[in-house]
Structure 1
Amino acid sequence: MVKWKLLAIIFIVFTVCTYLNSILKQHINYLTDDTKSTIIKTLVFIHIQKTAGSEFERSIVRRLHFGSQPSCRCPMRSRFNRTTRFHIKLKCNCSRNNEPWLISRFSVGWLCGVHADWITYHRCLPPKMNFEYGFHQRKFIYATLLREPVTRFISEYLHTLRGANWLSERSSCQKAQQLRNQSACWKNTNLTDFILCPFNSAINRQTRMLSSSINNCLSSSFTYSNLIDLKTAKKNLESMEFFGLTEYLYLSQRLFERVAYCKLIRTCSFQSYLEQNSINNQTYDYIEKDLISNDLNRIKQINSDDIEFSMLISADLSKPAGPDILLTSASTTPFRIQNYRTLAYVVITLVYLVIGAAIFDRLESTQEAIRHANLTARIAAFQQQHNMSDGDFINLTRTVELRLQYRKKQWKFIGSFYYATVVLALIGYGHAIPHTKAGRAVTIAYALIGIPMWLIMIQSVGERLNSLIRFVVKRIKRRIKRKREPQVTAMELLTCEALLILLTLVAGSYVFHRYESWRYFDAFYYCVLTL
């Protein structure tokens, strides 16, 4: 039972070490990559509820073409499922250079949670993309759709009557999610109750999702107004590469074809355009036939921030957009963030070294003192027994050390090859060292040239090994799940690598235990140091 527990602990430790090693390798590759000056630009679509965001995003992944090529590779409709909404939840492959160029519901899913807002995306995307697609210098370019506030609010109310709710929506403030889950705003209420609901997240939704405010988030007096800041919402909207209007979907698509990000890839064009009337008819019919003036005034009153926000947008539409602001901030922020990141790495490493020193000092110092006292007593007894002075004893120990060292000749070809391998691998066992000045000088030059070659070779072999593991996992998943192009996640790769490393350690330990007559734990310790 103890052995199984020990093996389980060892497996968990090496899984974590493998993950940390992979992260560290990606950091090293990022810091030493000469091509990192090429910033990867990723378009992020902030999907505000009931702004026709689903239709617009679906048109991007299915109807947008870069030159003569489709922007995304989408799954074909099954011949057994010919419904009109067959593809509403199917994700398309929108990859460029092995990572998605578009962060959208229909490309990578809700990567940062359902209907993530501005703050959530800024917190979530950098670590999420680094984990999934490796460490690169990225620039996230944002886009969204906006809608007239009253019409959007009515549309969201009608959507709740069809059984929808936003309880799974990702909010930047945990308090907001708790209050929303406790409220009864989504339980088929009438419009008046929906308006008067104290924690209705539909109120001023557009301004709140685009602002950068999280004031008073943990206080008991928290309200949704604490998440609204017109100034930051306007600033964030101005920094976006693109925003469209639900009332002008055709013009929004034509504008999207002309944005700078789209031209960076290639000439963009939609193969077909959205029809305006098919989206807003139901909401407009309700406003014309069923909406009373009292409810209309109440809606305008509670959505005053969204209405003011839309008025600010209308006033600034005639002004040129603000790409200069975006370029100015983007030119300074990554360098400053990289400095902070490097400082954080240095501090964390120093703290880790201090913790390790304290642990090893606690574990080894007492036993070391006991062994030293026992050795001193044995030396004194030996000298007294043989009537030997301190100088004679020192000469004797040096002679014995030389005798043990030259018991087997080290500098044959096999021994020299072993030494050269140890030097390049940076292992440093210390039991084989050159004694001539020429040998030590050659070791220095040999290491300076050979160590970079060794690291490059190890990185190349690791990449080929990753490709092989990815290929094998894809074949297995294709057989099991019957998918044409299954995806292999980073966690699956890390799991396979951890199992492979563990197998190597176990097998190597057994070989040294069998042929070198070492204890298995000592052999395992040796293999870990070698690895």
Structure 2
Amino acid sequence: MLLREFYRADDKKKVQRIFIGNALSLLFIWGIFYSRRRCFGSCLSGTLTDSKLDKYNLLENEEYVLVFLHIQKTGGSYFGRQLVKSLLMRKPCKCVPGRKRCSCLHKGNNWIFSRFSTGWACGLHADWTELHECIDKKMNRIERKRRKRRPLHPNIRYLYITNIREPVKRYLSEWKHTQRGATWKEATLSCQGKKYRNLIPKCYKGQNWKRASLKEFCSCPYNLANNRQTRMLSNLSLIECYNSSLPVNVQEEIMYNSAKKNLQELAFFALTEYLVESQFLFERTFKTKFLINFVTSNETKADTIELSKGELRLVRLVNKLDVKLYKFAKKLFFKRYNAAKKDYFDEMGFEYQSEKDIINNTALEDILETATDEDIKNIKKNGLSLLKSTNKILKISNKTKITLRALSKKSSLK
């Protein structure tokens, strides 16, 4: 119909202008669609675009605030302490002996929201849902002023970070912690403005659950330890919070997909089993350094627990969402890690070889020849510690292989 109207006008120039205008409009619309399509999932905070890692200059940008989502028994206490005590910032956190909290300010503003800085401001072990619903209000109260915040755009303001741990080990660690008397009964479990702490049935009578066997711990349907990582990373408002009328399988599917999406949007997450790699990724992501070197420990209390095949099957069953999420998280983590390594090697002018188990974060042999004394000191401190912790050969290219022994000998000459 439109074409008929065009040619009735018998005006070639008019027709040409109309067609050109429509063509340009279509190209413009296609361009927006294409850019959004490419951006979806990769322009979110902390995800990859063309194998490049998003970076945030924590030292320079006063609008960035790290928000630490602390999931129980993932090594969060250790990581949280290092954030306030060992992270290199222009103005170090002020930590007073005997006090659990430190004052962490950048140009008068808080740069971290965590247990060891602001305390449990959004509740004990606040999850993704609680943090997103409360953080603006709490930050305004803590800083006693209103600042322009856009939490829905993480590149502008809040940079969420967390620790993820292998689900079976995490679950066993929480079970043992429960046997020592822990309950986390003060957790508010807020969702959509309502506190569910007193509405969820307890798995035990009395003050604690110290005598819980592993079978009892797994069997309680109200045990929040089950699939804890998935639940705490998901948007619980999507399943009507803790009082959902949805079928269980539907709830689980929504929670899992939400947790995956939110994990992708985190500016950074560490894997407890890969703390050395996590430190390197953190330092490359936020353009800063820790003053100590992380060491991955495989001698936790959870590692000493021997399970029968039936017990292991039961633990994995009640944590099936966490098992799937950890598998996804591990793949995502090493994509980011390898992107960070490639970026570093490109900066140094070295050939990068993607390997699943590359641990080192420095090309020490060549750098030691040209770096300043200060650079050498920092590089040796980080690099040698990493090599000692892995006791593996550092591979830079097919032509260059450095063993720990040769590297130690070379560094001693300096």
Question: What displacement does 1:72 show?
Answer: 1.1
Question: What displacement does 1:100 show?
Answer: 1.1
Rounded to whole Å, the distance in 2 between the matches of 1:310 and 1:46 is 16
1:184 is matched with which residue? 204
Question: What displacement does 1:74 show?
Answer: 1.1
Aligned in 2, Cα 1:179/1:298: closer, same or farther, shift over 3 Å?
farther
Amino acid at match of 1:270: F
Equivalent residue in structure 2 for 1:252, among 278, 284, 299: 278
Amino acid at match of 2:300: N
1:180/1:201 contact within 8 Å kept: no
SS of the residue aligned with 1:182?
coil
1:143/1:241 contact within 8 Å kept: yes
1:316 is matched with which residue? 332
1:156 aligns with 2:179: no
Rounded to whole Å, the distance in 2 between the matches of 1:114 and 1:105 is 9
Aligned in 2, Cα 1:254/1:143: closer, same or farther, shift over 3 Å?
same
What is the CA deviation profile of residues 143-199 of structure 1, one whole-angstrom value per residue up to 9, with x for unaligned ones?
000000111000100111111111112323457523545331851211110000110
SS of the residue aligned with 1:50?
coil
SS of the residue aligned with 1:145?
strand
Which structure 2 residues correspond to residues 113-512 of structure 1 after superposition, within 5 A?
113-133=123-143, 134-138=145-149, 139-173=157-191, 174=194, 176-180=196-200, 182-184=202-204, 186-188=208-210, 189-214=212-237, 215-217=239-241, 219=243, 226=251, 229-259=255-285, 262-263=286-287, 268-277=288-297, 280-286=299-305, 289=306, 291-319=307-335
Rounded to whole Å, the distance in 1 between the matches of 2:209 and 2:268 is 35
1:72/1:92 contact within 8 Å kept: yes
Question: What displacement does 1:65 show?
Answer: 1.3
2:94 is matched with which residue? 73
Aligned in 2, Cα 1:121/1:151: closer, same or farther, shift over 3 Å?
same
Equivalent residue in structure 2 for 1:64, among 87, 94, 112: 87
Amino acid at match of 1:74: C
Rounded to whole Å, the distance in 2 between the matches of 1:70 and 1:315 is 35
* Structure whose CA Rg is larger: 1
SS of the residue aligned with 1:178?
coil
What is the CA deviation profile of residues 430-471 of structure 1, one whole-angstrom value per residue up to 9, with x for unaligned ones?
xxxxxxxxxxxxxxxxxxxxxxxxxxxxxxxxxxxxxxxxxx
Rounded to whole Å, the distance in 2 between the matches of 1:53 and 1:193 is 26
Rounded to whole Å, the distance in 1 between the matches of 2:177 and 2:300 is 14
1:39/1:137 contact within 8 Å kept: no
Rounded to whole Å, the distance in 2 between the matches of 1:248 and 1:184 is 35
TM-score by length of 1: 0.46
Aligned in 2, Cα 1:150/1:183: closer, same or farther, shift over 3 Å?
same
Aligned in 2, Cα 1:210/1:191: closer, same or farther, shift over 3 Å?
same
Amino acid at match of 2:95: C
Higher relative contact order (CA 8 A, sep 6+): 2
TM-score by length of 2: 0.58
Question: What displacement does 1:44 show?
Answer: 0.1
Runs of 5+ consecutive residues of structure 2 not aligned to the other structure: 1-60, 150-156, 340-414
2:102 is matched with which residue? 92
Which region of structure 1 is more displaced relative to structure 2, 183-192 or 213-222?
213-222
1:498 is matched with which residue? none
Amino acid at match of 2:183: N
2:62/2:107 contact within 8 Å kept: no
SS of the residue aligned with 2:226?
coil
Which region of structure 1 is more displaced relative to structure 2, 222-231 or 143-152?
222-231
Question: What displacement does 1:131 show?
Answer: 3.0
Rounded to whole Å, the distance in 1 between the matches of 2:247 and 2:213 is 22
Matched length: 262
Aligned in 2, Cα 1:100/1:156: closer, same or farther, shift over 3 Å?
same
Amino acid at match of 2:112: L
Question: What displacement does 1:120 show?
Answer: 0.6
1:46/1:116 contact within 8 Å kept: yes
More helix by share: 1
What is the CA deviation profile of residues 387-427 of structure 1, one whole-angstrom value per residue up to 9, with x for unaligned ones?
xxxxxxxxxxxxxxxxxxxxxxxxxxxxxxxxxxxxxxxxx
Amino acid at match of 2:314: R
1:43/1:142 contact within 8 Å kept: yes
SS of the residue aligned with 2:279?
helix
Rounded to whole Å, the distance in 2 between the matches of 1:234 and 1:168 is 27
Amino acid at match of 2:332: D
Runs of 5+ consecutive residues of structure 1 not aligned to the other structure: 1-37, 78-86, 324-531
2:63 is matched with which residue? 40
What is the CA deviation profile of residues 55-85 of structure 1, one whole-angstrom value per residue up to 9, with x for unaligned ones?
001011111112xx5631211x4xxxxxxxx
SS of the residue aligned with 1:44?
strand
Aligned in 2, Cα 1:311/1:132: closer, same or farther, shift over 3 Å?
same
Aligned in 2, Cα 1:58/1:318: closer, same or farther, shift over 3 Å?
closer
1:179/1:199 contact within 8 Å kept: no
Amino acid at match of 2:82: S
SS of the residue aligned with 2:138?
helix
2:114/2:120 contact within 8 Å kept: yes
Rounded to whole Å, the distance in 1 between the matches of 2:247 and 2:179 is 25
Rounded to whole Å, the distance in 1 between the matches of 2:111 and 2:189 is 24
What is the CA deviation profile of residues 178-221 of structure 1, one whole-angstrom value per residue up to 9, with x for unaligned ones?
35453318512111100001100001011111111332447485
Rounded to whole Å, the distance in 1 between the matches of 2:304 and 2:103 is 37
SS of the residue aligned with 2:198?
helix
Amino acid at match of 1:187: W
4+ runs of 1 displaced by more than 6 Å? 222-225
Rounded to whole Å, the distance in 1 between the matches of 2:277 and 2:335 is 18
Rounded to whole Å, the distance in 1 between the matches of 2:309 and 2:196 is 30
Question: What displacement does 1:222 show?
Answer: 7.8
What is the CA deviation profile of residues 11-51 of structure 1, one whole-angstrom value per residue up to 9, with x for unaligned ones?
xxxxxxxxxxxxxxxxxxxxxxxxxxx98221100000000
